[in-house]
Amino acid sequence: MSEGKNVGQAINRIDGLLKVTGTATYATDYVLKNTAHAVIFKSTIAAGKITDIDTADAEKSAGVLAVITHKNAPKLNVGGGIRGGALLQSPDIEFYGQHIGLVVAETFEQARYATSLIKVSYDKTEPKVDFPKHAKEAVLPKGRDSADVARGNVETAFHDAEYKIEAVYETPIEHHNPMEPHSTIAFWEGESVTLYNGSQIINGAQGAAASTLNIKPENVRIVSPHIGGGFGSKGGQWANLVLAAVAAKQVNRPVKLALTRQQMFNSVGLRQRNQQKMRLAATKDGKLTALAHETTTHCAINNEFVEPCGDCSKVLYEVPNSLISYRVVPMNIIIPTYTRGPGKSTGSYALESAIDELAYQLKMDPIEFRIKNEPSKDPSNGKPWSSRTTVQCLQEGAKAFGWEKRKLEPRQNEQGEYLVGYGVGCGSYPARQRDSSAIVKLTRKGSEVKAIIELAASDLGTGTHTIIAQTASDGLAIPISNITVKIGDSNLPPAAGSVGSVGAASFANAVNDACIKITNELIGKSGKQFTARPTAAQLMVSENIAEFQTRADAKAPADADKYSIHSFNANFAEVWVSKYTGMVRVPRFLAVTGAGKILNPKTARSQIIGGIVWGIGMALTEESILDPRWGNFVTRSLAEYHVPSNLDIGKIETIFIDEKDTKPNTLGVKGIGEVGIVGVAGAVANAIFNATGKRVRNLPITPDKLL
């Protein structure tokens, strides 16, 4: 990349005007002639079999074009990559709210009404939906990544230790609840289908749809230029994507299928409930000697997903004896899936709470305790860090936050009716670049050069359009106003997804490589020798070239795997807890993050704030509750599922460590979308203990648990 003026600057989003004027196109915003509407109907039992579906009245209802159930649905490939099953291929019921059919009608209202006319008979069986009841039945997961990982001898080290803690920390089921529910418009042209759909991984959605529909990938086009949030739920693809295509084929018209908020709770996955048994031991001077992190969780009855809660425990602290294990019980609940900071956010709550508990037992400052156990290399694999900023995050954060005001003993700081406490929690998340391609198209009129950047990237609302434009502007020496970014379309060059914090690193490096390549090709085309390297814009003018384009296929550096590459953070929370009501306020929160090159501090800060808000919600308000009698969720809307609002959130400050680390990729970008939530709930829980002296080990920390 040439030295430019845009990367690293807090530039406003180039798609901001589209967002605020309502002209950004989301999945259901496209207007297609003669569009019909589909509404899914769902099972009202959690386990058993459909014995009969009577659709006669629905089929006669005004405006109804088709009713599709397992009786007349086309044969689909259930192993094609669509998560959660529910593809209308069988009468078997595996969870409450499973899709059992859909009605297609002229209007949404007609389709919705017709679903109420359908009569379903079941042969019920006893469901497994009560996690506490069945947790003891948990078994070793089938996935090899979830096998027990042991180092040293935890049992002996823990038994012999003078200072130790053993506790179980619980996190509840959570739901992603993006602002934009999952929705699709599908239309066919011959044997090819176009799907307007919010997809975090454009090419992944294309492959899953093609495989499930039993057609070639080139016959599926995914269009998704804007996404109204996803947080992992739009990373994998769910049945609604393919069912929209099935419906459109059946009625030979475009079909719009949009999930309601209530349907979101049992259609597109969730963050699973976890019991995490922590055992920590240390010497008198604060050196860790043993760490065991044992997770028990649940998955779907016939499909496995296990959130990797032990990941942070593998890498955050130096400890000679460790055990990371998982046990899982299959249950009649929709399969869990990736949720922001998967495993790390929930696992860090248990780990950072346990670290805080042991520090208190040792009468050590929790920051001092963490720094004392800082590893010089990755404890899980022995690889050197590409860079590691945990200590710097802790030290700079403590100074900026005013950590010296914290008292070791709880209940020492009061403000009127409130007990005031301070807490800290650390986190990490892997940083990776994934294979991505980009095309740069240059055009010139007179002395003005413009560029179009094309790649099948996605933008969750995090600013992908903008960081791509910034990267291209510097790489080509063209003003941002002269750059058009085209993303979110599987017809464009393949790219990584906006998942796992790989998006920014993958997209920006692909675009940067394309800018370098097109400049080199223009230099070669000129046939001249230059004393100073010219820019692509200069060459287009000097060589009188009207149009020129190239494509780059970018990969991570060959030796990146030799290093352990992560983003790191330290989170500082101040809480005020009412002595009379148990209500918790978080008036102040500080996050210090080391995540390599920050492409845009404004959009980066926004992502960190989003992670903090969700982390505070995880700590204090968010919980999806299952009725153990039936297996359906009691929380079925945002009226019952309590997402933090403005009044719940106080002042949030963010600091980014100036970190230069080009081992992960050429630009040194690490990614921040995931790490922003990691360690947040732990910091809040630790602050509540410091305020009240009460250690709450099951989230969310509601007033009843503090009174």
Cα distances (angstroms) measured from residue 701 to each of 167, 572, 616, 682: 16, 17, 10, 11
Mean pLDDT, the chain, whole residue set: 97
pLDDT tens for 649-677 read 999 999 999 999 999 999 999 999 999 99
The sign of the torsion formed by the CA atoms of 649, 653, 659, 662 equals positive
Instruction: Flag whether pLDDT at 145 surpasses 90.
Output: no
Tell me what percent of the residues of the chain surpass a pLDDT of 70: 99
Instruction: Flag whether pLDDT at 524 surpasses 80.
Output: yes
Q: Partners of 575 in the beta sheet?
A: 421
Are residues 426 and 447 both part of a single domain?
A: no
Query: Do the domain assignments include residue 243?
Result: yes
According to DSSP H, which parts of 220-310 are helical?
239-251, 261-264
Are residues 425 and 438 both part of a single domain?
A: no
What CATH number is given to the structural domain containing 501? Answer: 3.30.365.10
Q: How many residues does the chain have?
A: 707
What does the longest C-alpha to C-alpha distance in the chain come to? 81
Are residues 307 and 395 both part of a single domain?
A: yes
Q: How many domains does the chain have?
A: 3
Structural domain ending residue among the three candidates 525, 555, 585? 555
Instruction: Flag whether pLDDT at 480 surpasses 80.
Output: yes
Query: Do the domain assignments include residue 573?
Result: yes
Are residues 252 and 279 both part of a single domain?
A: no
Are residues 689 and 614 both part of a single domain?
A: yes
Q: Which helix (H) or strand (E) holds 320?
A: none
Give the integer Cα–Cα distance in Å for 393 and 64: 60
Contact 569, 592 (CB under 8 A): yes
Are residues 598 and 616 both part of a single domain?
A: yes
Contact 352, 293 (CB under 8 A): no
User: Pairing relation of β-strands 321-331 and 192-197?
Assistant: unpaired
Give the integer Cα–Cα distance in Å for 476 and 1: 8
Query: Do the domain assignments include residue 663?
Result: yes
Please compute Rg for the chain using Cα positions: 27
Cα distances (angstroms) measured from residue 9 to each of 166, 325, 605, 654: 47, 43, 12, 16
Q: Which helix (H) or strand (E) holds 513?
A: helix 503-526
CA atoms within 13 A on the CB side of 631: 25
Are residues 447 and 477 both part of a single domain?
A: yes
- φ/ψ bin of 416: left (φ > 0), alpha (ψ from -120 to 50), beta (otherwise): left
Q: Which residue has the tokens 């180092």?
A: 151
Give the integer Cα–Cα distance in Å for 618 and 651: 18
Q: What is the pLDDT of residue 144?
A: 65
The string over 465-498, giving b where at least 16 C-beta atoms fall within 10 Å of a residue's C-beta and e elsewhere, is bbbbbbbbbbbbbbbbebbebbbbbbebbbbbbb
pLDDT tens for 296-353 read 999 999 999 999 999 999 999 999 999 999 999 999 999 999 999 999 999 999 999 9
Query: Do the domain assignments include residue 296?
Result: yes
Contact 379, 322 (CB under 8 A): yes
User: Pairing relation of β-strands 36-42 and 255-258?
Assistant: parallel
Query: Do the domain assignments include residue 409?
Result: yes
The whole-number average pLDDT for the span 280-291 is 98
Query: Do the domain assignments include residue 570?
Result: yes
Are residues 397 and 448 both part of a single domain?
A: no
Are residues 282 and 384 both part of a single domain?
A: yes
Backbone angles phi, psi at 484, to 5 degrees: -110, 130
Nearest-10 Cα torsion for 378, 382, 386, 388: 20
Are residues 653 and 571 both part of a single domain?
A: yes
Quote the domain boundaries for residue 495. Answer: 433-555
The whole-number average pLDDT for the span 192-215 is 98
pLDDT tens for 540-575 read 999 999 999 999 999 999 999 999 999 999 999 999
Query: Do the domain assignments include residue 136?
Result: no
Residue 1's pLDDT band (boundaries 50, 70, 90)?
very low
Structural domain ending residue among the three candidates 523, 555, 587? 555
pLDDT tens for 212-229 read 999 999 999 999 999 999
Give the integer Cα–Cα distance in Å for 96 and 631: 6
The whole-number average pLDDT for the span 156-167 is 98
Are residues 305 and 349 both part of a single domain?
A: yes
Backbone angles phi, psi at 96, to 5 degrees: -65, 130
Structural domain ending residue among the three candidates 555, 590, 609? 555
- Best CA proximity match to 596, nearest among 502, 532, 518, 693: 502
Nearest-10 Cα torsion for 605, 610, 615, 621: 140
Which two three-digit tokens encode residue 247? 């419906």
pLDDT tens for 365-401 read 999 999 999 999 999 999 999 999 999 999 999 999 9
Give the integer Cα–Cα distance in Å for 631 and 163: 42
Query: Do the domain assignments include residue 518?
Result: yes
Contact 438, 455 (CB under 8 A): yes
Q: What is the pLDDT of residue 200?
A: 98
Does a cis peptide bond (omega within 30 degrees of 0) precede residue 700? yes
Are residues 249 and 293 both part of a single domain?
A: no
Q: What is the pLDDT of residue 485?
A: 98
Q: What is the pLDDT of residue 147?
A: 77
Q: What is the pLDDT of residue 2?
A: 44
pLDDT tens for 400-425 read 999 999 999 999 999 999 999 999 99
Catalytic residues: 674
Q: What is the pLDDT of residue 327?
A: 97
